Every structure is written in C-alpha cells, then in structure tokens.
Structure 1
Amino acid sequence: MNTHPVAAIQQTGGAIAPHLRRLLEFIEPARDDVCLDVARGRGPMPAALGPQVRHLTAVDAVPARATAVNGTRNGAATGASARTSTVEFGTGPVRIAGGDPPPPSATREEHRPHPIGPDGAPVKADATALPYRDNAFSLVTARFSLYNLGDPDSVLRELLRVCRPGGRVVVADLVRGNLTGPDRDRIERLRDPDHPGTPSIARLTEMITLAGGSIRRLDVFTVERPVDAWLAGACDDATADRIRRALIDEVDGGPRTGAKPRIISGELWFTQTWAHVAAEPIP
C-alpha cells in the first residue's frame, strides 16, 4: 500500500483535495503532455490537470445512443492506519491514509468548466469510439468512470488506441482485494441494481493487459466514506434503510457485509478500496 503524505495544494481559482492530489502525483504530468480526460459528466480532473500540461481535451462521455460526436475518428486530435482530515469526494467526504490536515479551503473539489471543443461546445463522445486519431495523446486519463462509459473492455481499447507509444493511460477506479470475495458487491447491487460488480485488482490489471496495455505502475489504498452520503444514490429509501440496518448490525457484531463499517464521531462510515493504474500501449 502506498501511504505517502497527501497534502492539499493551491491552484488558481481553488484548492485540490488531498485524494485528487494523490492521483496527480501518481500521473506525473509533464509540461509538454497533450492530454485527454474521458469521464461521465463533469469531474475535477480537467481543472486540476490542465494547468500542469501543454494541452488538455476533456470528453464528457455519453452512451452511444445519445452521442453527439464532434469530429471523426480519423480527424485531428484537439489538442490505512493513520487518519487524515476529511475531504470532499462527490457527494460526501473521504478519509485516506497519510498526510496532514488540509486547510478548510481544500475540503471540497473544485468543479470549474471543462475545456471546450473547436465549435465552442463541450466535447461529447462515445467512449467506445472516440473521435480522435490513433496515437493522438501522450496522456489519457479515466477517473472513477470506467464502468459507466460503456463496455469497459472496449473503453480500455479506445483509451490505449488514442495514446501514443511511450505515453501512458491512467485509470483510477474502485477495486476489491485479490483475496476478497464478491460478497462486497451484494450491498452495491442493493443500492444500485445496475451495478456491474467491483473488479479485483488482478482483474482490472488483466483487463488493461488484454486490451493492449503494459502495466507500469500501481497504487492501491483504502478510504472510508460516510454511509449517508453514499446512500443518497440508492434506488429508493427502503433499500437505503435496509443497507443501513445491515451495516449497523455488522458494527454490533452481526453478519459481515464486506464494507467494514464503523462509527466515527457518532456517524456511520464504510470502506472502499481505490486503485490507480498506469499503463503504456503495446506497439
């Protein structure tokens, strides 16, 4: 497990949250990088990564049936024991290992506008058929969205296709330990019946390899999140209450859910495992 300090840093217009800073340190952006960030909706990566590279194009990926593609495929590319303070991630705070408490201004992710396409509109595309030529980018990122962008194997092939030889594709996503059974997904599927399942670390790296990538670096670590913020996305209130009761029962010595819940300052929290994987396309 990588437990190096994750201090917040200041950027023009706001602060970068510690967990995002950890990802940026893993990516190691260079001033001459030409980057593509592929996500579902608007995330913090373009604003955080853009100032550190030469050019960044952000794709807001949508399902193929709703895709409004800007350009063509052959067109030119546009350019664990220690506790930290709490930081915002999506709809709730997160605790990760290592680091000093960030300043209050760093406790929320900044959501500045994405870079835009040449027609002045945000770039929307199908992540399984990106509208960029082969080898167009030196850095390609996909953060916590791989399983929301379409068939993940097809998405990975596209991310690697548009990455030039010697470049890198960085995927950040939820995983489960290689020795952890699939029981952890039971509550995920209760919360979201369409949940595709959480891959093991070995499965995620295997998928990238089979798609044509060579694994270069891996960072796996555990986070804790408040249950209530996570359950805000449950399919209905009755399901949320059912999951909450199961987690409280586990805290009281009942059956294990795989979520490792505990009470922090009177609030119910649970754990997730995150992974950052850097791969290079195989020529």
Structure 2
Amino acid sequence: MTVTHGDKVVREFSKQAAGFSDPRLNVAFTRHLDDLVRFMDPELDLDDNVLEIAAGTAIVSLAIAHRVRHVTALDLTPAMLAEGKREADRRGLTNVTFTEGDATALPYLDRSFTLVVTRFSLHQVAAPEAVVREMARVSRPGAALIIADLVRPDGLEGDPDRIERLRDPSHGTMLTEAQIAGLVTEAGAEVKRSRRIDFTRPLEPWLELSRTPADAAARIRGELEEELAGGPATGMRPSRENGELHFTHSYLFQHAVAG
C-alpha cells in the first residue's frame, strides 16, 4: 500500500496533537499568536465569514472567533480538530465549525468566504501552490488572504529541510518570502503587506513536541553541536543559551487581497 504525503501528515500530527495545548512545547505557536492577530486586526470585521485552512488545533480560529461572525476550521488530521473542538467547548464558543478536509482541494464553492487564513501549512504540504490557489478560489473579490508560515531566509547556508524532516518526516519544503509572494500572484491575488520575525527557540521542547525518535534526535543534536564547533552549516542557525542548544526559525506574515 502506497503511503501518501497526506498519510504522513496525519500520522505525525496525530502524535503531536495533545502537545499543541502545552505552552512549554508549543512556544513558537503560542508566543506569536498575538503578533499574528495584531497583523490580521485591520482586516477583521464582525460580518466576516472566515476560513482557516490546515487549522490544526484551530488556535487562530479560536483567537479571532469573538471578532467575526463565523469561523470554519479545516484540517486533515481528526485528532488535531478534536483538540480544537474541546478547547472551543471549554471557552463556550458557538461560532466555530470544525471540518475534516484537504487544504489542496477545499470542499467549498467559489467566493464563499470574506477572509481566509492559513498558518504554518505551506512548508508542510506537498503542493503549496494548490493551497494558495484554493485560498484565492474560495475568497470573495476583495477578501483578505492571510498567510503565516515558516520561511527560508535568502542566502541561508545549509539544508534546514533535511533537519526538519529528520525531526518530522511529514515536513515538506520551506519557501522564501519571494516564492510565497509568487504563488499568491499566480493565484490572482495581490500582496499588500508583509512582516518577518526571527525566533530563537530551545531545541529539546521542539523535539519533544514531535516525539522524534531517539536516534533521529541524537543526529540532530550532533549536527547542531558540530556546526557550533565550526563544522558544516545545517541551515538551523544553532546557538547555545544558558548551556542549552537553541536554533532559529524565520516566520512570515503576509496579507494579500483576492481578485
């Protein structure tokens, strides 16, 4: 039986689902959530019908639910959606719908939503161009498209995707800011503004969140240690803080308008 990339995503994120509610493990997602909501703020309206694509545990949907009419959180992994639904119920939110579905083939009619957002999905999927194309297709003319993703800085030495796949085999390919802008333009939308953030995070919680096997985790630690000692670049920009290994990710927030 052939294992698809989607199968890998469901397998890996089913393992990770419970950890997404743990701020110790999920520090990157939780720390920059407020930054993303502030970035989105000018586009939020109480009449908005919002779609969050590849929503995971729907932390963006839950964060903006009180600011819009309705949010649909769509994801491929049932375990992630279940975590999000439990949190929505705990908060008493009644305007969030959870739907299992594929970000590259959305089960919605054209021009169905007034705002579409995806967070940390393009580097994970096999066909990021299909995700952006679908975002544009289901958006009404003039609707906001918000992309928040892990990106590869220009001129970066080393191959961070290789390290990312050692940690999580469902990782795809990090795009550059220009490549994402190109996908948006090809989909018929127009980029309006962007913001990039570099974030240095501790290695061990990152490995624990993904439940990376011990042998793969040891290889990652070893390669980062070797780079710090003057060895080959990994692309992960390692550092040591208070005796602990850290690495640096770059995050992009991009706002476009559907045509």
TM class by shorter chain equals 0.7 to 0.9
Q: Which residue of 2 aligns with 1:25?
A: 38
Runs of 5+ consecutive residues of structure 1 not aligned to the other structure: 1-15, 64-108
2: CA distance between counterparts of 1:251 and 1:227? 14
Change (3 A) 1:234 1:123: closer
Contact 1:61 1:149 survives alignment (8 Å)? no
In the other structure, the counterpart of 2:64 is 49
Map Cα deviations across residues 149-191 of structure 1 (whole Å, 9 max, x no partner).
Answer: 5522112111111111111110111001122256222322333
2:171 aligned partner: 195
TM-score by length of 2: 0.75
- Any idea what SS the aligned residue of 1:122 has? strand
Once the two structures are TM-superposed, the CA of residue 224 in structure 1 deviates from its matched residue by 1.1
Letter in 1 for 2:190: S
Which of 242, 251, 254 is the equivalent residue of 1:274? Answer: 251
Q: Distance in 2 between matches of 1:149 and 1:246?
A: 26
Paired residues of 2:118 and 2:146 also in contact (CA < 8 A)? yes
Per residue, is there more helix in 1 or in 2? 2
Please give the per-residue CA displacement for 1:43-85, whole angstroms capped at 9, x wherever unaligned: 311110111112212222359xxxxxxxxxxxxxxxxxxxxxx
| Residue deviations 1:211-242 (CA, integer Å, cap 9, x gap) | 22211111111001111122232652111101
Q: Secondary structure at the match of 1:263?
A: strand
In structure 1, C-alpha distance between the alignment counterparts of 2:152 and 2:205, rounded to whole Å: 21
CA distance in 2, matches of 1:150, 1:159: 16
Q: What is the correspondence of 1:1-283 to structure 2 with a 5 Å cutoff? A: 17-28=30-41, 29-61=44-76, 112-113=87-88, 122-148=98-124, 151-181=127-157, 183-232=159-208, 233=210, 235-282=212-259
- Give the AA of the match of 2:36: L
Give the whole-Å Cα distance in 2 for the aligned partners of 1:47 and 1:61.
18
Note if contact 1:40-1:62 (Cα within 8 Å) is conserved in structure 2: no
- The count of corresponding residues between Structure 1 and Structure 2 is 220
Structure whose CA Rg is larger? 1
1:3 aligns with none
Q: Which 5+ residue runs of structure 2 have no aligned equivalent?
A: 1-28, 79-83
Residues 160, 19 of structure 1: CA spacing in aligned structure 2 closer, same or farther, 3 A cutoff? same
Q: Counterparts of 2:95 and 2:63 in 1: how far apart (Å)?
A: 18
Q: Specify whether residues 210 and 133 from structure 1 end up closer, same or farther in structure 2 by C-alpha distance, changes over 3 A only.
A: same
Sequence identity (%): 38
CA gap of 1:200–1:138, structure 2 versus 1, over 3 A, is same
Of stretches 131-140 and 174-183 in structure 1, the one that deviates more from structure 2 is 174-183
Shift of 1:253: 3.0
- Counterpart contact for 1:116–1:122, Cα < 8 Å: no
Q: Could you say if the C-alpha distance between residues 33 and 117 of structure 1 is closer, same or farther in structure 2, counting changes exceeding 3 Å?
A: closer
- The one-letter code matched in structure 1 to 2:156 is T
Answer whether contact 2:123 2:173 (CA < 8 A) is retained.
no
